[in-house]
Structure 1
Amino acid sequence: MIKEEKISFSLIVCTYERASSLKRLLDSVKKQTEYPDEILIIDGSVTEETKKIIDEYQYAKLKYFKVGEEDRGLTKQRNYGIRHSGNVDVICFADDDLVLEKNYFAQLLSTYRKKPEAIAVGGWIDDDTYWRKEEGNYKPKFDEFIIDNYVRKLGQRNVFRKRLGLLSDKPPGFMPEFSHGFSTGFLPPSDKIYEVEFFMGGVSSYRSCLFQKIKFSSYFEGYGLYEDMDFCLRTSKIGQLYVNCAARVVHYHEQAGRPNKYKFGKMVIRNGWYVWRVKYPDPSLKARLKWHGTAYLLTLVRLGNVISTPKRKEALTESFGRIAGWFSLIFKNRTSE
């Protein structure tokens, strides 16, 4: 029997004021069938709660770093972690509000063995979406999405986009010319490995040699919405990316540490425009119209949530942020505040 190649790997967790969530994540890391060669906690918290958790509970091979204002923020903390990582083959990142299935790392690393050309591999997030398996000749309804005979509902906003011809015709994890593609959340629970050009940064891994060529962009500050897509799109110009749907996590969507809804809405538009232009610096007129048309439609849908959901203030505030972000692209320099 041939022994499998040993792949050394680091786990970097960037955290901010989420001590209890971090403990829950680390408890799931502790149960892994393949344990990291090192765990780096990059803490941007102002309080000492996270440090207390680290001191109270013992986790093997863990290194704790408390960063100041100059290194605070998701992309800065990730770059900080990379600089302090040891000599390993693969660097993994995990959001601090995840719980990993016990074979998560084993599945991620197996992808590099099965796909030696892989430069990056992402995991699969269980977000409670209901999927069902159908026979090969099944024809989905208008409000359904199908891939590999797995079917799920599209959701209201995507049904609207489909009616208006604004829905992506590319598979999940690929960006069409007008952006607004299907996220890797539309990959099914098939346990298969899929080629992609982007995936979620909270369940990501990269060959360490990649970081000799590129790093996470300083454009994204603080919460850093879409920084993962930006990095993946640039990575896809260097090598092949995959998502392994057998490498699974549960995401608890911890609210602590997130920006207010106005800032979030503004980031949705401005950062979304930025990553679109990373992939397509000079899109066609049709693509430009479809990008703005989709942004307009999704803002209207979010405004509609003021009536249709109990969180009316959040929906309204985020909608105002989206509108402000949109107008800032039209009337101001697109890379300035």
Structure 2
Amino acid sequence: MEENIRTSIIICTRNRREILLRICNSIVSQTYTNYEIIIVDSSDKEKITHVDLEVIFGKTKFINIIYSEPGLTKQRNIGIKAAKGELFFFFDDDLILEDDFLEDMVKVFKDNNDYFGGMGAMTDIKVATFKTKLYTRALRFFLLRHGYGNGKFRKSGFPGFPHGKKMFLDTEVLSGGITAYKKEVFDEFEFDEHFSAYSYMEDIDFSRRVSKKYKLFYNPRAKAEHRHAAGGRGNYFENRRMYMYNHRYIFEKNFPQILSNKLAHFWSIIGLYVFATWDWKKAMTAIKGYNKGLRDYRKATHK
């Protein structure tokens, strides 16, 4: 790759203008400055404008605002088509990047041509307590996703995100809102627009497909804080419905349908129901959402 790599920063947003401006303030402070910014805005109120961004970046031709219909995967694919860089960064709009984030990520790509994708580290990962350690062990027992994984996929279809790891790792799993991929990846792959609206777990699907062909990494030196913003994920019932539906979809799409994998997958579904009772106030809502997700998936796959 060239010494001074041109990067494209793609941010998809919806109805979160002030939050979007916050990440833009962290971008303008980056030590690595060879970038363009593409904002794909599906807001139905308070759309972002060039005037808003000129306050932060000044007048520049390297900012592209595209208004689109809602849908995270659809918005990302729109941003990809507009991007002109060699590296494509995808950021959630509620991140705050440390000043050297881009520099630390670009350096990995420059120093090792074998890597085609990577992710940085979240600084807001909570220190594990006895209760959370017990919870994590139980999650592992049910082959579910957990925050302190080894970056590998499990037979159940759930990933072990490398969040919280302090060492550089080769990984199969990239968390969608803090990732980068080489441009060449998108000559072969695009985000699956079957994932609608908030598109829960679309990052799992995409990194699973890419990791079968290309090497990916986790870089703990590139840090960002994820200030989870309210809204965007729908109500809790819809969130759980989508979670179950997409878990089934990802497994059947991306994993060999052999007996051992199927047993692990259905054991993980039992685990989802068991862990719905962890928060008893929301338990019935979660269970109803999971039931609806299973019914919807069964109907969709038997049409």
TM-score by length of 1: 0.80
Matched, 1:216 2:191: yes
Larger radius of gyration: 1
- Structure 1 distance, partners of 2:274, 2:90, is 34
1:201 to 170, 173, 176: 176
Q: 1:54 to 1:196 in 2, by over 3 A?
A: same
- Structure 2 distance, partners of 1:155, 1:327, is 31
The corresponding residue for 1:278 is 253
The corresponding residue for 1:48 is 46
The corresponding residue for 1:236 is 211
Partner amino acid, structure 1, of 2:42: G
The corresponding residue for 1:140 is none
Matched, 1:257 2:255: no
The corresponding residue for 1:85 is 83
- Structure 2 distance, partners of 1:272, 1:195, is 24
**TM-fit CA distance, 1:248:** 0.8
1:318 to 277, 286, 289: 286
**TM-fit CA distance, 1:36:** 4.3
- Structure 2 distance, partners of 1:201, 1:181, is 13
1:95-151 Cα deviation digits (max 9, x unpaired): 00000011100111111123210011111112332169xxxxxxxxxx79xxxxxxx
Is the 1:267–1:325 Cα contact (8 Å) retained in structure 2? yes
The corresponding residue for 1:182 is 160
- Structure 1 distance, partners of 2:142, 2:42, is 43
Q: 1:36 to 1:224 in 2, by over 3 A?
A: farther
The corresponding residue for 2:15 is 17
Is the partner of 2:48 in helix, strand or coil?
helix
TM-score by length of 2: 0.89
Paired residues in the alignment total 298
Is the 1:18–1:257 Cα contact (8 Å) retained in structure 2? no
- Structure 1 distance, partners of 2:44, 2:296, is 31
Matched, 1:334 2:289: no
1:287 to 256, 261, 279: 261
Q: 1:252 to 1:15 in 2, by over 3 A?
A: same
**TM-fit CA distance, 1:54:** 2.5
Q: 1:24 to 1:171 in 2, by over 3 A?
A: closer
Partner amino acid, structure 1, of 2:290: R
Is the 2:143–2:154 Cα contact (8 Å) retained in structure 1? no
- Structure 2 distance, partners of 1:333, 1:236, is 27
Residue segments in structure 1 that go unaligned for 5+ positions in a row: 133-142, 145-152, 307-311
The corresponding residue for 2:274 is 300
Partner amino acid, structure 2, of 1:66: Y
Superposition map of 1:46-195 within 5 A = 46-51=44-49, 54=52, 57-59=55-57, 60=60, 61-67=62-68, 69=69, 72-86=70-84, 88-130=85-127, 153-156=132-135, 158-162=136-140, 164=141, 166=143, 172-185=150-163, 187-188=164-165, 190=166, 192-195=167-170
**TM-fit CA distance, 1:9:** 0.5
**TM-fit CA distance, 1:323:** 2.2
Is the partner of 1:219 in helix, strand or coil?
coil
Is the 2:28–2:56 Cα contact (8 Å) retained in structure 1? no
The corresponding residue for 1:135 is none
Is the 1:299–1:323 Cα contact (8 Å) retained in structure 2? no
Q: 1:9 to 1:166 in 2, by over 3 A?
A: closer
Partner amino acid, structure 1, of 2:66: F
Is the 2:244–2:293 Cα contact (8 Å) retained in structure 1? yes
**TM-fit CA distance, 1:208:** 0.6
- Structure 1 distance, partners of 2:158, 2:134, is 15
1:229-254 Cα deviation digits (max 9, x unpaired): 11111111221111111111110110
Q: 1:326 to 1:197 in 2, by over 3 A?
A: same
Percent identity reads: 26
- Structure 2 distance, partners of 1:214, 1:83, is 12
